Amino acid sequence: MNVTAFNRRKEFGKTLASDITHRMRNEIVTCRLKPGEMLKFDTLRLSYGASFSTLREALTCLAAEGLVVAEEQRGFKVAPISLADLIDLTHARILIEVDLIRRSIENGNDDWEIGVISSIHRLGMIEGRAAEDYADNPDWKVAHREFHESLVGACGSPTLLGIRQSLFERAERYRNISARLRPRPRDKAGEHRALMKATVGRDADRARELIARHIQSTTDNVIKYASDLIGDG
Amino acid sequence: MNVTAFNRRKEFGKTLASDITHRMRNEIVTCRLKPGEMLKFDTLRLSYGASFSTLREALTCLAAEGLVVAEEQRGFKVAPISLADLIDLTHARILIEVDLIRRSIENGNDDWEIGVISSIHRLGMIEGRAAEDYADNPDWKVAHREFHESLVGACGSPTLLGIRQSLFERAERYRNISARLRPRPRDKAGEHRALMKATVGRDADRARELIARHIQSTTDNVIKYASDLIGDG
DNA sequence: AGCGATAGTATTTTCGAAAATATGGTTGAA
DNA sequence: TTCAACCATATTTTCGAAAATACTATCGCT
């Protein structure tokens, strides 16, 4: 069978557009595409080897997630970061996550509980191997995301789960900034274990308290050390 | 100046794609495009007079809002409706709206208070004119939306406001269904007045209680009278 | 100099054809 | 009859050129 221009590797999704969406999302949350940077089609066409329409579709997707902002007739740019945005985002995340973890604890069955246990175990294995600096280890990031997803996995609310996921992605850039700023490493592993224990122990009140603090603590760190680095507008 | 094929009326946004997004969103929430209906490009091209790429962008937008679902390589369809979806949606809306109205009451200044008063006044004027059946009056719908937006307008949380708006749109189809099913008209005007009074009276607890009941009541009505009409999957 | 008009350039937005993929039906062998 | 393989058709996805719009720099006037 012929290999044509249309035939190419599609790592993430089935369509090229969804593949590019994934790749671009990754470059935005790792700040390889800088906050506020203009996204010109000519440049993007070179970087991603796709046409206008395909890139446009990817950008539209990311704009809906809040990682990109579209100004009509004036193109797209990477969503800027700011202290105000971080605070707003954190509030939204805590509101939703607290509700979801409570309902997950109420509804969760055996399979859910096993999922929580195994995902924290996997996370621990990666942390054990990579010793200290697992902050920008991609494997750790995946395991970390999956652990948090497992906690709320039994909430039974597709709508809020989708929103939660999108907010989690938006927070990734701030997590990266926070990790770099922090003078001494944070005991994330301990927080995760406590969270896991409260959750599988069905102690909803404690789990809610812990997850709220867990989310808030990244924000507090950025506020403490970076209030001048990123504008507050 | 020449009128070419590109030159055309753009009612809502600056770009054709955003215009079509608006028009299609409207046709979906009014159920002129039926829940679950396949959206084929050839058909859409005729209806909206736009090209593949442009339609694709509009559909991508609506998919992000949850009014359309995309199945990769197999096209787009209008998001189906179901009792499960309505219940899920209602839960999410109450969680968010209750938080936003509380914070709006905390933060709201004089201008905000005036906005609430004037928007309910406008709503009352329309209700007075159209007598009984203002349920599918477009003017009433706009005024109704703007009244509810005014209540939460001072919350100071762009992220949650955006999510709220998207969920409000998604609920519109169920509101329409509910209105048709209801055996006797509901005293929405009374509910709105009570909500306004509690809000400008800065009685956060009462406002939260009232808005939660207000949202829940549409859902209860659908559950009561339409549990067989729309499947529960 | 200051400033609005304007021409030229850069960039985004839209289009419709062409490629890739899915769907549906038919054939032929077990 | 059943079922896999295959062709024909329907549909989606992608492309790159062309149109519309925004941006920039230059010119001419006060």
Question: What's the pLDDT tens digit per position in B84-108?
Answer: 999 999 999 999 999 999 999 999 9
CA distance B213 to B218: 9
pLDDT band at B4 (very low <50, low <70, confident <90, very high): very low
- Could you read off the pLDDT of A159-184 as tens digits, one per residue? 999 999 999 999 999 999 898 888 87
Give the model's pLDDT for residue A47.
95
**For chain B, percent of residues with pLDDT exceeding 70:** 90
Q: Predicted confidence band at B2 (pLDDT cuts at 50, 70, 90)?
A: very low
What is the predicted pLDDT for the residue at A13? 66
CA angle B8/B11/B14 to nearest 5° reads: 80
On chain B, the residues whose CB falls within 8 A of the CB of A169 are none
Query: What's the rounded mean pLDDT across residues B202-225?
Result: 95
Write down the pLDDT at residue B141.
Answer: 93
Residue with smallest Cα–C1' gap to C21: B73
CB-based contact (8 Å) between A171 and chain B? no
How far does the CA of A77 sit from the C1' of C3, in Å?
32
State mean pLDDT over B166-187.
90
Task: Among A14, A61, A88, select the one facing B73 at the smallest CB separation.
Answer: A14
Predicted confidence at residue B230, as pLDDT, reads 66
Structure tokens given for B149: 């937006």
CATH architecture of A83-226: Up-down Bundle (1.20)
Which pLDDT value is given to residue B233? 46
The whole-number pLDDT of residue B121 equals: 96
DSSP for B35-77, written as a single string: TT-EE-HHHHHHHH---HHHHHHHHHHHHHHTSEEE-TTS-EE
Nearest to B158 among A88, A160, A163 (CB): A88
Q: Does domain A16-78 have CATH number 1.10.10.10?
A: yes
Give the model's pLDDT for residue B12. 59
Q: What is the pLDDT of residue A37?
A: 96
Find out whether B33 and B26 touch, Cβ atoms under 8 Å.
no
> Once rounded to an integer, what is the mean pLDDT over residues B29-34?
95
pLDDT at B3: 31
Nearest CA in chain B to A161: B92
Q: Which residues of chain A have a pLDDT value below 70? A: 1-13, 131-132, 229-233
* Residues B39-70 pLDDT 10s: 999 999 999 999 999 999 999 999 999 999 99
Average pLDDT over residues B8-37: 87
Query: Closest Cα to residue A144, out of A132, A153, A135?
Result: A135
Which residue among B61, B72, B163 sits closest to A163, beta carbon to beta carbon?
B163
The residues facing B78 across adjacent strands are B68
Residue of A nearest to B155 (CA): A88
Q: What is residue B19's predicted lDDT score, i.e. its pLDDT?
A: 95
Averaged pLDDT score across all residues of chain B = 90
Contacts of B232 in chain A (CB under 8 A): none
Q: Nearest CA to B77 among B111, B118, B44, B115?
A: B44
Write down the domain spans for chain B. Answer: 16-78, 83-226
In Å, how far is B161's CA from the nearest CA of chain A?
Answer: 10
B218 pLDDT higher than 70: yes
Radius of gyration of chain B (CA): 19
Query: What is the pLDDT, as a whole number, of residue B179?
Result: 87
| Strand D at less than 7 A from CB of A12 | no
Q: Do B13 and A91 count as a contact with CB atoms less than 8 A apart?
A: no
User: Distance (Å, rounded) from C-alpha A139 to C-alpha A14?
Assistant: 23
Q: Looking at residue B13, what is its pLDDT?
A: 65
Calculate mean pLDDT across residues B114-132. Answer: 89
Q: CA B128 to CA B192: how far, in whole Å?
A: 14
> How far is residue B107 from each of residues A148, A213, B152, B153, measured CA to CA in Å?
32, 24, 10, 10
Q: Are B181 and B221 in contact (CB under 8 A)?
A: yes
Can you tell me the distance from the alpha carbon of B189 to that of B200, in angstroms, rounded to the nearest whole number? 16
Domain A16-78 and domain A83-226 have a common topology: no
| pLDDT reported for residue A129 | 83
Sign of CA dihedral A160, A163, A168, A174: negative
- Distance measured from the CA of protein residue B151 to the C1' of nucleotide C14, in angstroms: 40
Which residues, 6 or more positions from A94, have their beta carbon under 8 angstroms from its beta carbon? A211, A212, A215, A216
